Amino acid sequence: MQPNETEKPRWTPTRAGRDARAVSTAPRFYSVAQVARIFGMSSMTVYRAIADGQFPALKVRGRLIVPAKIVDEMTEAAMAEGVVVDAASWVVER
């Protein structure tokens, strides 16, 4: 038996394997359409709520995105408190 036959093959890390931040299963942001699907409403309702300052969002070069953390925290608060959570209370006043 030759020495190479008993050795285990070497593992070569991929680019993503070297940088743990590159591998993420949970999204950091949702599109308006995704938020609408999550909450079971139309995209237009979410767009109107954002425009009226009643739903938190970020605008990047004309595109609106919603931090997943906000969606998660609103959902957790509603479940933990057992009450209706007003999304407008999550909007930061300027």
pLDDT digits (tens, 9 = 90+) for 43-78: 999 999 999 999 999 999 999 999 999 999 999 999
Q: How far apart are CA 72 and CA 88, in angstroms?
A: 15
Domains and CATH numbers, the chain: 25-90 (1.10.1660)
Q: How confident is the model at residue 9 (pLDDT cuts 50, 70, 90)?
A: low
Whole-angstrom Cα distance, residue 7 to residue 47?
59
Q: What is the pLDDT of residue 43?
A: 97
Tell me the pLDDT band of 92, cut-offs 50, 70 and 90: confident
Average pLDDT, the chain: 84
